[in-house]
A = this chain, B = another copy of it.
């Protein structure tokens, strides 16, 4: 019962944006972004030296550049003679390549005559699972190409803690760093070759990742990140040059690694804030990034508050038995007929289903709930008669796809145990949102925008997420999927250098709150494990089906044992 386009199933609210696709997203860069790229190029026809003007060859170039506002202007000492010779050899007709370094400009290169290729930059989302690369034309201000690859560290450890344990000592740090650099170089080379551009035309790179990934990339010690009191080597990383990290682009290309606020608040989220623009808004916005952790930022241009909690793994599809990340073979959308209890689903890349990803799981729980298959306590209603509702030695299950439909020839089912895990995750998500808004006395209704980032955020349907009580019951128009916010924020930084100040400001301004496990939090969490919540007034738009509320609460806790 595969579900191809045009099967009548509504499209998800957020257009899927798969990391395996390379399509251009025209909305990738926000409208408010100004085009003040990190690297500027300037063609100059200088007056050749004569007796009346004994200015040095290099100064002859620097003088007009400074007059045009590129000041203070730094020249890399070892390049001094080489650059001056090139100016002379080009008969004083050269293009200066200038990089912005916050408190000064750098003369990255001097090229003879006019530029043959546009000045380029790479924005990289340094994800724990995948790395996404965006090749940017800095002069035109657009994305030329994008691609993503698996994080080459995965063989060293699926999760970040295993990788940290592998990264002990100088050798360990190299073991984690080198495959990253190799993949950077290989991917960038392939992307450039496909466009016919030389690596030497890439003058800037910006990358955003979580704190640990940034440390891995820079070869820094991660051992104190995962032990109390969780201290990274550095929160802010100095601007450096490609040659210092063996990156095969222009050796003097500026490399900007997004800073982190702490061990559990990384540059990826900071880039997400940039991408959302919430740090420039007068209204109150919230940004949620569900990755390994659920990370939440609340605030506006005047204040920002953040927290994080372990809500993610199940929602990303990584923990439940048939869960998988959003990719080919993953069921990402589900609908269930309330009468027949028969499902319809969509599989990414229209293949036979292999598993089910986060958005599919949310749809599934919501639809099971709406069809009365799940009680408000999250228990499978065994009183219903359907060949899909089956009792097994491990408890009741619902069969989403029969063995003859699936890629591996096994029934694709969801168990009471899986549902219990998912409800804990969605409860954690809702609890975090409740805690952070309560902290500053903001009601969900006060939110102007609710941004959802991350792989997960690209696929979920907020209507479904509200039905299961994961996201607050506010108008659907409030919700905005942002796609890959880490990559987008990095790309934005390359195209609008004034955002360097924003990054610095946000980094100083943001208050990170620790979620202390206390009675109040536990009560919140307990209530949020119901469908949609023990307090239905919180979800006025969700009509609880008759069948779901039929079971008495006393039995309902069974579904939560996991």
A75 and B53 CA atoms in complex are apart in Å by 38
Measured between beta carbons, the chain B residues less than 8 angstroms from A57 are 224, 231-234
A190 interface hit (Cβ, 8 Å): no
A393 interface hit (Cβ, 8 Å): no
Measured between beta carbons, the chain B residues less than 8 angstroms from A62 are 236
A339 interface hit (Cβ, 8 Å): no
Measured between beta carbons, the chain B residues less than 8 angstroms from A88 are 224
A237 and B77 CA atoms in complex are apart in Å by 8
Report the copy number of this chain in the oligomer. Answer: 2
A262 interface hit (Cβ, 8 Å): yes
Chain B: CB-nearest residue to A240? B77
Instruction: Report yes or no: B54 in contact with A238, Cβ–Cβ below 8 A.
Output: no
Measured between beta carbons, the chain B residues less than 8 angstroms from A236 are 56, 59, 62
Which of A76, A88, A229, A244 has most chain B Cβ within 10 Å? A229
A195 interface hit (Cβ, 8 Å): no
Measured between beta carbons, the chain B residues less than 8 angstroms from A77 are 237-241, 244
Instruction: Report yes or no: A234 in contact with B51, Cβ–Cβ below 8 A.
Output: no
Measured between beta carbons, the chain B residues less than 8 angstroms from A51 are 228-230, 514
Instruction: Report yes or no: A220 in contact with B80, Cβ–Cβ below 8 A.
Output: yes
Q: Looking at the assembled complex, report how far the CB atom of A29 sits from the nearest CB atom of chain B, in whole angstroms.
A: 28
Measured between beta carbons, the chain B residues less than 8 angstroms from A228 are 51
**Which of B75, B224, B260 is within 8 Å of A238, CB to CB?**
B75
A224 and B55 CA atoms in complex are apart in Å by 12
**Which of B103, B218, B229 is within 8 Å of A103, CB to CB?**
B103
Measured between beta carbons, the chain B residues less than 8 angstroms from A76 are 238
Chain B: CB-nearest residue to A507? B59
Chain B: CB-nearest residue to A50? B229
A88 and B58 CA atoms in complex are apart in Å by 43
**Which of B54, B81, B241, B512 is within 8 Å of A233, CB to CB?**
B81
A229 and B51 CA atoms in complex are apart in Å by 5
Q: Looking at the assembled complex, report how far the CB atom of A276 sits from the nearest CB atom of chain B, in whole angstroms.
A: 23
